[in-house]
Amino acid sequence: MRGFRVADCLRLNYVIAILTVAFLAVLAIMPGCGNREAQRKPAEQPVRIAFALADINRDGNKTIKKVVDQQKEQLNAEVTWLDARNDPARQQKQLDELAGKQIKAVVLQPVDPATASGLVEKLARSGIKVVALENLPLNTPVEGYIASDHAMVGRLQARFVQEALARAAEAQSGKFTPPRAGTIIRPGDEQSGASRDGQLPSQGGSEQAGGQQQGAGQAAGGGRQGESGQQGGTGGSQGSGGGQGQVTGAVDYSVVAQLPRHRPLNVVILQGDPKDQLARDITAANQAALQGQKDVKVVKVYEHPRWDPSTVAAGLAEVMEKEDRIDVILANDSTLAMAAVEFLKMGGMDKNVLTVGVGADEMASRGVVSGEHDAEVDLQPEMLGRFALEAAVGLAKNGYWQYGDKVNNGDYSVPARIVPVRLVTARNAYLLEERWEELKKAREQGGGGQQQSQAGRQGGGQEQSSVQSQPGEQSKQDRGGQQGGGQGKTTLRITTQDGKTMEVQIDGEVKKIESVGQQGGHGDGQGMGDGDQGGG
């Protein structure tokens, strides 16, 4: 028994020894696993990229920065922001300093497009990939190009004017009944053909029977049908301004009411920096779309180096001296457009001139909602920022990114993504409320924007109106009477259906104008200004 017990103890000790060795081996292996995990972490460090913007305080760039900062963690990116403050020397210095900061890719928005090629070459020699934002340096091999659809921007601006002309022709011919004052058009309320219950014809609907349908790609239609789906919600092929066919799009009666009766309309184009590709492309598209249109005449194209709006007033004043009047202003960006609006307001002309800008910045968007500005083409900076971030991260990680187009650039074919654009008026300004938090509040306080602009902007008057205020006169019965404090008298010119006219001078501001009915006349006595004319 004793021998058995000794053998048993030996076996037990043997088992314990084996277990001890196994345990120690496990302990030895565990630090190795931890080391392999630690070795993987450096590979997962955020990729370092930079955004070199011309001016980070532009509203569009603010939106781009906001979107990029929100999404950079999802792509495991570390972003360095460079603000040139519109100083080309400052931008060059900032880019020169990137070489020692392990930046792998740069999204470049050049201050001076003329010197951008040299900047790109320096970055490339430092091993930094370059994505051009909105401006493509000429004949330069950048790795990516992110831009809005510049040509479509210009066509949408021109289309807005052509739609207004066609709508005015319909009104004069009796094919279009203006809405009752204060009518708010909501999505889904419209129908094709003549208006029902004083509402506007359908947006983006089909051609009216007997109307002349414009073919795809026809410039006289104010834009090309079905081009990459980038009509921005205006939809439909457009009439050439002669009142033939149904007018579609975002034009409402408040715009028609501003148009004077004389033709052609005098158009002024406020171009941005002539070195800037965005400015050149938009202006060229404006001119191409309006060329040959008998009802419009481009009387002047003003250039604004560095997009400086300070010279807008002087330029418009010069046109007024030579041409006596301005009927339409097409601006390459929102700041130029709003500078024009301020000039017109000072001269009491803001209700007789159509204004269309580009960019939909916060001030211009509020102007559209309040009714003092007619339309903006939105470049959708949220998409610009997201695409630019994805391109830079892809290039920094593996030298490749998911592009959708290619753009010819001299000796090079550049991978690109082109962002669709959209026309925004008071009717669809809700599209911008997510971007500008105060816009919805401003629209609600302003009577819904559409209501205010319809009931408030009756400056031009149409033939079917019972009460008219003549263009260029003192009468500013919308939003607070006369300019310059709203004091003095308001002159109204009343035109009857049989052609008789009379002028009435009223002390102070006009709050509301309406026709209370006609004895044996035409029409249904629709009100011209059924609603308060609140402050703009």
Q: Rounded to an integer, what distance in angstroms lies between the CA atom of residue 202 and that of residue 211?
A: 15
More confident call, 440 vs 237: 440
Clarify whether residues 19 and 49 are in a common domain: no
Element (H, E) at 392: helix 381-398
Question: What pLDDT score was predicted for residue 389?
Answer: 98
**CA dist 107 → 115, 228, 382, 387, 405 (Å):** 16, 25, 15, 11, 18
Same domain, 239 and 336: yes
Distances from the Cα of 267 to the Cα of 287, 302, 348, 352, angstroms: 10, 11, 18, 13
In a domain, 490, yes or no: no
Q: What is the pLDDT of residue 279?
A: 97
Whether 507 maps to a domain, the answer reads no
Could you tell me if 178 and 296 lie in one domain?
A: yes
Same structural domain, 411 and 321: no
Look up residue 279 and give its two tokens: 């400015």
The H-or-E segment that residue 156 falls in is helix 150-173
Answer whether 75's CB lies under 8 Å from 390's CB: yes
- Residue 233 counted as domain residue: yes
Question: Does the pLDDT value for residue 167 go beyond 60?
Answer: yes
Whether residue 128 is found in the same domain as residue 230:
no
How many structural domains does the chain have? 3
In a domain, 410, yes or no: yes
Closest to 384 measured CA to CA, from 138, 95, 58, 3: 58
In a domain, 280, yes or no: yes
Residue with tokens 């070195």: 275
Q: Distance between CA 510 and CA 478 in Å, rounded?
A: 7
Do 131 and 159 lie in one domain? The reply is no
Does residue 17 sit within a domain? yes
Share of the chain above pLDDT 70, in %: 61
Q: What is the pLDDT of residue 312?
A: 97
For the stretch 29-60, pLDDT in tens is 665 555 555 555 555 789 999 999 999 999 99
Helix (H) or strand (E) holding 144: strand 144-148
Residue 260's pLDDT band (boundaries 50, 70, 90)?
confident
Decide if 405 is inside a domain: yes
- Look up the domain containing 14 and give its range: 2-43
What is the tens place of the pLDDT at every residue in 313-356? 999 999 999 999 999 999 999 999 999 999 999 999 988 899 99
Backbone angles phi, psi at 196, to 5 degrees: -115, 135
Whichever domain contains 183, its CATH number is 3.40.50.2300
Query: Where is pLDDT greater, at 222 or 38?
Result: 38
Q: Are residues 276 and 231 in the same domain?
A: yes
495: left (phi over 0), alpha (psi -120 to 50) or beta: beta
* Residue in the structure block whose two tokens are 């006595």: 525
Q: How far is CA 39 from the centre of its chain?
A: 47
224/318 same-domain check: yes
